[in-house]
A and B are shown apart, each in its own frame.
Chain A
Amino acid sequence: MTNAPTRTAAGRRESSAASATETGRIPVGQQAVLSCAGIERSFGGLKALKGVGLHVEEGEIFGLVGPNGSGKTTMVNVMTGFYPPNAGTVTLFGRDVTGMAPHRIASLGVSRTFQNLALFKGMSVLDNILLGRHTHMRPGALASLFYWVWAQREELANRRVVEEIIEFMQLEDIRDEPVEVIPIGLQKRVELARALAAEPRFLILDEPMAGMNQEEKEYIARFILDARDERDVSILIIEHHMDVVTAICDRVVVLSYGEIIAEGEPRAAIADPKVVKAYLGERAAARHAGIAP
């Protein structure tokens, strides 16, 4: 695990070269967007994370996978400031953010979506996405009172940005609907739109495809790839659908019981006997090893 950075950096060069030829995008510098070192976090007697270290590089789609209860969401909550780690450091864009409050981490350019939707009920799709622009706006009581003089221009400028996102995410026909009446698949897309509206440099997606059918999954996968390529975001994604993980991730880390058991190129990592064992159990792992080429 300690020699991981060099190995993965090499892997990254290959994959970024591949994606560059694919999308015509010039590979960006090998700067780490996020690096976590020795993260430990426990809840009472339960050690949810036991010294996890990982790093996400600029312009990559990084997969965080593992069986239920392996600590993926806890890890994300540590990165975004909800659970300060008991030990270890979190560095975002070269800046130590360990123990920083979530709203301050958000203002550094980090957005995230939640495993269970976290949209604001009673507001329209448009207002929800406009909320994503919060860090770019300057709300104030006097600005609201003198709307026409102080706030209108800012509101309209941000509205234009939001309309771009709405077009990008193909949400035009539901922009005025109350957010609670649209189907879950679309709600997930609205949440992704809200996260993108903040124009983040780093986007964290916690199971964006949970409960979706194949078609909806493909849609979201396409949006994620487009977001990376067109909007220059580095993405960390937690996902259980292995077909998606192998299709869109540049690199993955597999967690089990709060420890990294495999990492690297997605296909290789999920074929690792330890990963198969963690997901399917001892016997299935043995069978898998027998039939593997």
Chain B
Amino acid sequence: MFYRRAGIRHTRYQDERQIWPLPFDRGLVIAVFLLALAAPFFLDRLYLVGYMLPWIIWSTAALGLNFLMGGAGQIHLGYGAVIAIGAYGSVHMVRSGIPFEIAMIGGGLLSASVGIVFGAAALRVKGLYLAMATLAMQYIVDFVIVHFPTISGGTQATIQVPRVSFLGLAVVGDAPTYYVALFVCIVVTLFMLNVKRTSLGRALAAVREKDYAAAIIGVNTFRYKLLAFWVSSFIGGVVGSVLAVCYYRAISPDQFHLELSIQLVAMVIVGGLGSVLGSFFGAALILFAPILLNQAIGFMAGGMGVAISTDLRSHVPLMLYGAMIIGFLLWEPLGLAKIYSNIRNYFLVWPFRHARQ
């Protein structure tokens, strides 16, 4: 219906290898992009800062983790720690007078250099054992941050982020912080989309699927596993820096605990492993489902006069939230992105039910 493919003829390889070969997809992306750009002008402050900004930042983080989990097939249960290293590293750099742009890259490099050390475990172990190794990273980094006053500023301390400017513009107020986050998100998204159609993405996929077959076509599996950890940790570090400067504005160690890592893994899996769009869907579900469920229960309790004890009221949303994640994964184990793609494929051949897509 919307996604007509008939009559679209690509005559050059670069047209066929476009990120979005169908005009409808391109139009949709442009519309979403314009909406995202205009968001500060028509969205209420609460929605912009309370919903859009965290969604964009967590989607970027999910993209970075998805590069590793979906792209290279390596699990990481310590991505929260990677983000923490980037956040603390760049905040300390900014506080010592280094410009934000450089501190952002610096935070990324710091995360990448620590992340690659734990990623080196991936050269020896796979699957659950790698999960344990990365879990160890989470705890070690947590411990180091809390117990070194030079990093955390002392026990229970919160470090304020000073005012910064990005590319000459002061990052103060709602709109500028939003645009900085959006800029980083777009760069990471473009990177992820391009990776899929270049030799890097194919080499990583080869390592993920069959490492012996990857070796026989000349892919150095060690190198690419490490590269995957490096790049993914770099993105995590940059996201940590954006998170600290644009969203939290004051960081403390408890913002980067294991729950965060688990939530990020959930975003990637619920959204769809290896899917760029899925990272956005996953982040949205994990962020907003609890809020929506909470409000729905609150509405039922208050507005409809259903008597619910406060105890139950605080726990029911969490239970429903868990059930929702399981439900989505039962419905489509490949994630929300696959559900979207099924709908899209339906419309590609509509009104026929089955056709070669």
Contact = CB atoms under 8 A, between A and B. Distances in A.
Interface string B297-337: 00000000000000000000000000000000000000000
Contacts of A139: 198-200, 202-203
A73 to B, nearest CB: 12
Contacts of B201: 144
Contacts of A133: 199
Interface of B is mostly: helix
Interface residues of B, number: 31
A82 B217 CA distance: 13
Interface stretch (B87-95, B174-182, B218-226): B218-226
Contact of B215 (A103, A127, A138, A145): A103
A219 interface: no
Interface residues of A, number: 43
A81 B219 CA distance: 13
Interface stretch (B47-55, B165-173, B189-197): B189-197
A159 B218 CA distance: 18
Contacts of B209: 120-123
Most chain A C-beta atoms within 10 Å of own C-beta, residue among B17, B216, B219: B216
Nearest to B223: A103
B185 interface: no
Interface in A116-138: 118-123, 127, 130-135, 137-138
B212 interface: yes
A262 interface: no
B216 A152 contact: no
A120 B212 CA distance: 11
B356 to A, nearest CB: 9
A46 interface: no
Interface string A85-113: 00000000000000001110011000110
Contacts of A127: 202, 205
B14 A103 contact: no
A144 B217 contact: no
Contact of A111 (B13, B203, B217): B217
A111 B216 contact: yes
A141 B217 contact: no
A140 interface: yes
B218 A147 contact: no
Contact of B190 (A130, A141, A145, A160): A145
B202 A118 contact: no
B225 to A, nearest CB: 13
A194 interface: yes
Contacts of A235: none
Interface of B: 13-14, 17, 187, 190-191, 194-195, 197-203, 205-206, 209-210, 212-221, 227, 231
Interface of A: 80-82, 101-103, 106-107, 111-112, 114, 118-123, 127, 130-135, 137-141, 143-145, 147, 151-152, 154-156, 158-160, 194, 198
15 contacts: A101-B215, A101-B220, A112-B216, A114-B213, A118-B210, A120-B209, A127-B205, A130-B199, A131-B202, A131-B217, A134-B199, A139-B203, A143-B198, A144-B195, A198-B217
Q: Which 6 A-B pairs have the closest CB atoms?
A: A118-B213, A135-B218, A139-B200, A106-B218, A102-B215, A139-B199
Given A80-B216, A118-B213, A144-B201, 11 more contacts: A82-B215, A120-B205, A120-B206, A131-B202, A133-B199, A134-B202, A143-B198, A144-B195, A156-B13, A156-B17, A160-B13
